Chain A
Amino acid sequence: MDGGSGELHDRVDQMKVMVPVKRVLDYNVKPRVKADGTGVDLANVKMSMNPFDEIAVEEAIRLKEKGVATEIVVVSIGEQKAQESLRTALAMGADRAILIVAEDKVEPLGVAKLLAKVAEAEAPGLVILGKQAIDDDNNQTGQMLGALLGWGQGTFASKVEVSGDSVEVTREVDGGLETVKLNTPAIVTTDLRLNEPRYASLPNIMKAKSKPLEQKTPADYGIDVTPRLTMVKVEEPDKRQAGVKVADVDELIGKLKTLGVVASAFWSGSNTTMRR
């Protein structure tokens, strides 16, 4: 960090990290599809910060603790209640928050456009986002933000190392890990192995109440967030057939044989001859 030119040194010393967070149905709550097929029932159920976003907040805090980041700005786009998730992030250790109030749902493309505007104003060295929100499971916002800003992206990160004006991101890819080097400013999206988020202590929860939380609207940024997708309907997935119980291992193996497809898998001793 200290070996670079004066200019680089200044820039690194001032590195701001921006962390967008989303308030979603708590991961321990079973989603219930509304009877009229318009969506999932979110009335009177526990809501929390998206788990991947908690990991993003934690990573930003660790960068600050290492002296790499100097300020952490958390941003949420959503209804007024999204303040709760911002306050949680502030209690964990973020410095200030921006809420872009949108009572209607904003799609990833609209979110990315708003975040791009915030990033242009805040000039962070890194934007760290959850790889996906566990409600809509889109896995798009970080990549879209990268495209809109013309920045590099390290998606599905399990390790982030900032040095000078670049960042090395180890990514969880199908079958293993891949490391890429990105010029900063850059986008990082978090995967599960990156870290284990801390719990906010009670004193920090109290302290977070007085940290700055600024409110904006999409119109303040001149962004049209009209959805491109219409939700035609939301349904329960097909229910699984009730199964059978077997008494012992021999009967289990017998059942596997009767199932045919399973037996072929089992008795071939490999997965190459399976078919269905």
Chain B
Amino acid sequence: MKDATLAAVTAGAKLGDVVALVAGQGAQDAADAAAEIVGVSKVLLADDAAYGHALAENVAPLIADLMSGYDAFVAPATTTGKNIAPRVAALLDVMQISEVLSVESADTFTRPIYAGNAIATVKSSDAKKVLTIRGTAFEKAAAEGGSASVETISSSGDKGLSSFVGSEIAKSERPELTSAKIIVSGGRALQNSENFHALIEPLADKLGAGVGASRAAVDAGYVSNDYQVGQTGKIVAPEVYIAVGISGAIQHLAGMKDSKTIIAINKDEDAPIFQVADIGLVGDLYKIVPELTEKL
């Protein structure tokens, strides 16, 4: 079970009794696993080829139809949740509350705006709530220990609007950025693609870390856009974020400042990155990084 799903169960439990929906193809095992999550009182299983690839066009109507019996729909703010939930909200004619950080009451929630540079408290007047949950903001429910019943529900069928063609899940051994526990990121000070790969990647691999980059490094072509951490890139909150040769532009800080521990290595002692770093080391990254990699 994904961490983000377990966090969504915790968030849902703050609103009331939690029923889990498993929509998929050949999803009995997933339903059985969901039944073991502590805090889940019942599991609904919709098993149909139409749900095999979580196509929003098919899954959203299933959820919207079910909602006559529920007060809130809670999804993790994963790419799957973010794809489906707003479609559900529109079908129900309610305003979704995205990336919820806390449940203040049955109708009041906090959420980040401006890439986390501000936190908004919003109160919903809609009868039913549709929420996506930021996984890093809630404790994970225990994945085992529960014993909910699994009830099979009927499929609402394939709406015939879309089909799955294929997927290409990154072959990298490295953890994916938004779920990585440790991230090593490089900035413009790496100077070129060769240095980026030669210095950042070995350190990341030593730590079992994901690899990120500042917008400056991406714009300069050292790595591709999917590495980008920042306001217009990926928003990350790992346990440890190591910023190497990153000055700390506003738009980068917006994407990583919720990391638990931030370590900065930079030759400019006045770099803004040091204002958010828990541990800073001023010096030449070309000496520091290889030494750190070796000594770890």
Interface residues of A (CB under 8 A from B): 25, 27-31, 33, 40, 51-52, 107-109, 112, 134-148, 150-153, 155-156, 168, 171-183, 186, 192-193, 227-237, 240-250, 252-253, 255-256, 259, 261-262, 265-266, 269-271, 274, 276
- Which 4 residue pairs are nearest across A and B when measured between Cβ atoms? A143-B86, A176-B169, A144-B90, A147-B90
Residues of B within 8 A of A176 (CB): 167-170, 176
In the assembled complex, the CB of B215 is this many whole angstroms from the nearest CB of chain A, namely 9
25 intermolecular pairs with C-beta atoms under 8 Å apart: A138-B98, A139-B86, A143-B87, A144-B89, A147-B90, A153-B57, A174-B79, A174-B176, A176-B170, A179-B165, A179-B166, A181-B163, A192-B228, A192-B232, A229-B97, A232-B121, A234-B120, A234-B121, A237-B119, A245-B279, A246-B280, A252-B263, A253-B296, A262-B240, A271-B207
Tell me the dominant secondary structure on chain B's binding face: mixed
User: From residue 220 to 253 of chain B, which have CB atoms closer than 8 A to chain A?
Assistant: 224-226, 228, 231-233, 239-240, 249-251
Tell me the dominant secondary structure on chain A's binding face: mixed
Interchain CB contact under 8 A, A134 and B232: yes
CA distance A31 to B257 in the complex (A): 15
Interchain CB contact under 8 A, A249 and B295: yes
CA distance A71 to B83 in the complex (A): 28
Interchain CB contact under 8 A, B126 and A51: no
In the assembled complex, the CB of B258 is this many whole angstroms from the nearest CB of chain A, namely 8
Interchain CB contact under 8 A, B114 and A25: yes
Give the size range of B's interface with the partner. 35 or more
Residues of A within 8 A of B99 (CB): 137
Closest to B263 in A: A252
CA distance A175 to B168 in the complex (A): 9
In the assembled complex, the CB of A186 is this many whole angstroms from the nearest CB of chain B, namely 8
Residues of B within 8 A of A227 (CB): 95
Residues of A within 8 A of B84 (CB): 143
Interchain CB contact under 8 A, A153 and B115: no
User: From residue 103 to 140 of chain B, which have CB atoms closer than 8 A to chain A?
Assistant: 108, 112-126
Flag whether B18 is at the interface (Cβ < 8 A): no
Closest to A136 in B: B113
Interchain CB contact under 8 A, B276 and A240: yes
Interface residues of B (CB under 8 A from A): 53, 55-57, 60, 78-80, 82-91, 93-99, 108, 112-126, 160-170, 175-176, 178-182, 206-209, 224-226, 228, 231-233, 239-240, 249-251, 257-258, 260-263, 269, 274-283, 288, 291-292, 295-296
Residues of A within 8 A of B263 (CB): 252, 256
Residues of B within 8 A of A229 (CB): 95, 97, 122-125
Interchain CB contact under 8 A, A178 and B280: no
